[in-house]
Amino acid sequence: MTEALLSLRGVETHIGQYHILHGVDFDVPEGGLAMLLGRNGAGKTTTLRTVMGLWRASAGEIRFGGRDITRLATPDIARLGIAYVPETMAIFADLTVQENLVLAALAGPPEAKRLEWIFTRFPALKTFWTLPAGFLSGGQKQMLAVARAIVEPRRLLLVDEPTKGLAPAIIANMMEAFRELKDGATTLLVVEQNFAFARQLGDTVAVMDDGRVAHCGSMAEFAVDSGLQQRLLGLGMDTHQ
């Protein structure tokens, strides 16, 4: 079995007076693409933010590449090779597309070859290279948010609902980009509500319910178990084609 790159054990998170995560346990295998599913409010986004250190885990342990990162500051976690694409995209609207990507490249100016690959997947970014990102459409902003995370090779990519509000053609491109990243030895943990996308892309799946992981396993098995889908997600995947 592939060794886990990211491992969460008994992770609890409080936001103010609210207890959101109640002991999250799951592993993300190295080189794989793990999908994190669950109903709204199940704790998926909180899990990603806790891994990034944007919300502090109040209990439990988060290990990345064997190292305990539970108490590390967010910039230190990012510099270990973890990139994060939040649900809100969080692009810098007053900065140009170019500036957004330059800022995300920690090792220096982005490599031309890497940029060319990004432009192949997301051509709009090349078209609007010098435009302030605030003028991009919703789909283009999502492309930029993902491009910013992959402008340099990373070990782990945390992506929160990348297909939200996107046109099918862009989703197909996104899917291809994620596959290519995986082939290039990047590990991905993707939160998703689009089950068709999740099923086609995921190697493994963790399903969250009420701040806990209710199911972990392979996506292939989960995709054919409509009873489990019904119990954990409320709807079978077939209804989301």
Partner 1 sequence: MNKPKRDLLPLLLIPALAVAALPLVGSPASWVTLTVAGLAMGMMVFIMASGLTLTFGLMDVLNFGHGAFIAVGAFVAASVMLSLGPWMVADSFWLNMAAIGPAVLAAVVASGALGFAFERVIVRPVYGQHLKQILVTTGGLIVAEQLLKVVWGPEQITLSRPAALRGAFLFGDIAIEKYRVLAVIVGLVVFAGLALTLNRTRIGLLIRAGVENGEMVEALGYRIRRLFVGVFVVGSALAGLGGAMWGLYQETVTAAIGAQVAVLVFIVVIIGGLGSVGGCFVGALLVGLTANYIGFLAPKVALGSNILLMALILLWRPQGLFPVAKR
What's the min distance (Å) between Cβ of 98 and partner 1?
10
Cβ-based nearer residue to partner 1, 41 or 135? 135
104 near partner 1 (CB under 8 A): yes
Q: Of 22, 30, 65, 92, which one interacts with partner 1 (CB under 8 A)?
A: 92
Tell me the CA distances in angstroms from 139 to 34, 51, 124, 133, one per residue in order.
23, 26, 10, 12
106 near partner 1 (CB under 8 A): yes
- Backbone phi, psi, residue 136, to 5°: -75, 155
Cβ-based nearer residue to partner 1, 107 or 112? 107
Query: Which H, E and C letters describe the chain, residue by residue?
Result: CCCEEEEEEEEEEEECCEEEEEEEEEEEECCCEEEEEECCCCCHHHHHHHHHCCCCEEEEEEEECCEECCCCCHHHHHHCCEEEECCCCCCCCCCEHHHHHHHHCCCCCCCHHHHHHHHHHCHHHHHCCCCEHHHCCHHHHHHHHHHHHHCCCCCEEEEECCCCCCCHHHHHHHHHHHHHHHHCCCEEEEECCCHHHHHHHCCEEEEEECCEEEEEEEHHHHHHCHHHHHHHHCCCHHHHC
* Contact stretch for partner 1 (CB under 8 A) within 4-12, 68-76, 199-207, 213-221: 68-76
Q: Of 2, 3, 10, 54, which one interacts with partner 1 (CB under 8 A)?
A: 54
Q: Of 71, 116, 135, 230, which one interacts with partner 1 (CB under 8 A)?
A: 135
* Contact stretch for partner 1 (CB under 8 A) within 114-122, 126-134, 167-175, 210-218: 126-134
What's the min distance (Å) between Cβ of 237 and partner 1?
31
Cβ-based nearer residue to partner 1, 96 or 194? 96
52 near partner 1 (CB under 8 A): yes
Cβ-based nearer residue to partner 1, 91 or 201? 91
Cβ-based nearer residue to partner 1, 27 or 160? 160
Catalog residues that contact partner 1 under the rule CB under 8 A: 52, 54, 73-75, 78-79, 84, 86, 88, 90, 92-95, 99, 102-104, 106, 127-128, 131-132, 134-135, 148
